Amino acid sequence: MRNYLNISQSKDLENKKEKILYRLLEIFPGFLSWGTLISAILLSAFAPVVVAIFIILFDLYWLLKVSYLAFHQVVSFLQMKKNLKINWLEKLTEVKNWKEIYHLIILPVFKEKKEIVEESLKAILDSKYPKDKMLVVLATEERAGQEIQKTAKEIEKKFKNQFLKFLVTTHPKNLPGEVAGKGSNVAWAIKTAKEKIIEPLKIAVENIIVSDFDADTKPEPQYFACLTFHFLTVPEPQRSSYQPIPIYNNNIWQAPAFSRVVATSGTFWQMMQQERPELLVTYSSHSMPFKILEDVGYPKNVVSDDSRIFWKSYLFYDGDYRVIPLYYPVSMDAVLTKNLPQTIISQYKQQRRWAWGAENIPYLLFSFLKNRKISFLEKLRRSIDILDGFWSWSTSSLLIFFLGWLPLILGGEKFNITLLSYNLPRLVSNLMTLAMGGMIISAALSFKILPSKPKNSNFFKNFSMIFQWLLLPITLIFFGALPALDAQTRLMLGKHLGFWATEKVRKYDE
């Protein structure tokens, strides 16, 4: 029995030694991040030369990393543009048995407005793929109240005859062993869809691909054809998830500048990750074979369900599991609420929820100790990658923008009269100026993925689209490092974060 696959936190364990070990692993990410920042401050006062050398080496490392990622960003962007021009449905006609593949599309909703959900369903309906092969589930929550049930019935009436099957599910509230949120809702929807659609239609589970979309996800017209083609042509389709590129464009012209920068930065990070499939983990809207969900079970007791389903599958299959990059976009919403202050708060909370993915660090490290079939080198590679990712998220921007000054401020007169002290600001400034090349590339590419400008767009909005990237240092700190530190600190203190649903608005209320 591999009960460790279903752990959500240390209290799930009965063995006292294992519980202590898991608790220490929960502390470790926050300890590593805070240890780095506190050490930087203390050493700047007591060993400024050491810190100065570290700053130079760290900034040089960051320059090389930015250059490496910028290259992958451009290559991924070009591949995405190429894939958008391909008639994937036509390519499918050359693949044997493609008409046997069905798509189960799950749209979990909480309190999203009717118009937002209908836009997503309209995009699915406009897909260049046979609708008699599509099974759509609108997954609602009982805890959202009666209003969403009324909305779901209206939507069902409008779309129920447009697909092979259209099902509305209602996830009961307060079920034992669950975290209220998207993961538990999706798990319930999958279970109900099997009972009410798949078994009555007698569809072989090996022929079903599940797309777990957010309520605001709008796939490009050839998405399902592209997905099916990859599913039928990759070496191990039943041991793979399939990841599109999320582009937060649905409301990009209405969103404030800082929200656009955060959203576009997230898009470009996912583009870079597509070019590194050996490190790719499922994120947000993604697709996977139904057979995997039969074997593994969709996680319903965690907040970061989109990444946890990957790690759970990876461990269940003893490392024989991967994510296939599709280099194909789906459009989603940037953070936007009813007014600017609420949008700022909402943006922070969304980033903190994403950063709560750090809960996968203790899960993965503990599971590696239990799993004897995955090689040591593979465990080491995966461990370093996940630790580096969350450590960099919470510390890099603070180290880059503040650490360079600390030795000069705290190092004392003895250090400040040295040649190293004199040259440190210039050297750091030059390295960071070179690193800005990555920002320039991102700014240039951001215009390539912008949707058409609304008719009522004014000059100031056009102007801000150009200069919004000057906000990048601020967004990296206030919507990057700080929410990541917040999440890791909560994990370190055992104050587990619940699922927070981001409000979705397409324009400010008048």
Closest CA to 120 of 76, 82, 158: 158
Burial class (CB in 10 A: 0-12, 13-18, 19+), 200: exposed
Domain 87-334 has what CATH class? Answer: alpha beta
pLDDT exceeds cutoff 60 at 145: yes
pLDDT exceeds cutoff 90 at 418: no
Q: What's the average model confidence in pLDDT over 327-351?
A: 94
Residue 308 DSSP SS3:
helix
Closest CA to 116 of 332, 261, 283: 332
Edge-to-edge strand ranges of the sheet holding 240-247: 165-171, 134-141, 102-108, 208-212, 286-289, 240-247, 322-331, 218-219
User: Residue 509: its pLDDT value, please?
Assistant: 41
What tens digit of pLDDT does each residue of 281-334 get?
999 999 999 999 999 999 999 999 999 999 999 999 999 999 999 999 999 999
CA distance 285 to 218: 10
User: Residue 338: its pLDDT value, please?
Assistant: 87
Q: What is the dihedral of CA 315, 299, 259, 66, to 10 degrees?
A: 0
Burial class (CB in 10 A: 0-12, 13-18, 19+), 290: buried
User: Residue 343: its pLDDT value, please?
Assistant: 94
Q: What's the average model confidence in pLDDT over 49-66?
A: 89
Task: Kindly list the domain boundaries of the chain, sorted by start residue.
Answer: 8-85+335-510, 87-334
Q: Which residue blocks in 234-283 are alpha helix, DSSP H? A: 257-274
Judge whether 391 and 36 are in contact, CB under 8 Å.
yes
* Backbone phi and psi for residue 135, each to the nearest 5 degrees, phi listed first: -115, 115
Tell me the pairing of strands 286-289 and 208-212. Answer: antiparallel
Q: What's the average model confidence in pLDDT over 58-64?
A: 88
Closest CA to 394 of 299, 459, 468, 490: 490
CA distance 498 to 481: 20
Apex CA 217: angle with CA 213 and CA 220, to 5°? 110
Judge whether 75 and 275 are in contact, CB under 8 Å.
yes
CA distance 382 to 282: 14
Closest CA to 118 of 508, 506, 509, 507: 506
Residue 235 DSSP SS3:
coil
Count of residues in the chain: 510
Half-sphere exposure of 365 (CA within 13 A, CB side): 21
pLDDT exceeds cutoff 90 at 443: no
What is the separation of C-alpha 427 from the centre of its chain, rounded to a whole number of angstroms? Answer: 35
Q: At 454, is the pLDDT very low, low, confident or very high (cuts 50, 70, 90)?
A: confident
Pair of tokens at residue 481 = 């490092």
Half-sphere exposure of 83 (CA within 13 A, CB side): 24
User: Residue 1: its pLDDT value, please?
Assistant: 54
What tens digit of pLDDT does each residue of 68-105 get?
888 999 999 999 999 999 999 999 999 989 999 999 99
Q: At 506, is the pLDDT very low, low, confident or very high (cuts 50, 70, 90)?
A: confident
Residue 323 DSSP SS3:
strand
What tens digit of pLDDT does each residue of 237-255 get?
999 999 999 999 999 999 9
Question: Facing residues of 316 across strands?
Answer: none
Q: At 353, is the pLDDT very low, low, confident or very high (cuts 50, 70, 90)?
A: very high
Judge whether 494 and 359 are in contact, CB under 8 Å.
no
Of residues 402 and 13, more confidently modeled: 13
CA distance 492 to 88: 47
User: Residue 459: its pLDDT value, please?
Assistant: 62
Long-range Cβ contact pairs of 148-152 (< 8 A, separation 24 or more)? 148/109, 148/110, 148/111, 151/114, 151/117, 152/109
What percentage of the chain exceeds 90 in pLDDT?
76
User: Residue 467: its pLDDT value, please?
Assistant: 83
Q: Could you write out the DSSP letters of every residue in 54-123?
A: HHHHHHHHHHHHHHHHHHHHHHHHHHHHHHHTS-HHHHHTTSTTGGG-EEEEEEE-SS--HHHHHHHHHH
What tens digit of pLDDT does each residue of 150-163 get?
999 999 999 999 99
DSSP 171: E
Collect all residues with Cβ–Cβ distance below 8 Å to 162 and sequence separation of at least 6.
125, 131
Q: How far is CA 85 from CA 74, 80, 89, 130, 250, in A?
A: 17, 9, 12, 20, 21
User: Residue 409: its pLDDT value, please?
Assistant: 85
Q: What's the average model confidence in pLDDT over 112-133?
A: 96
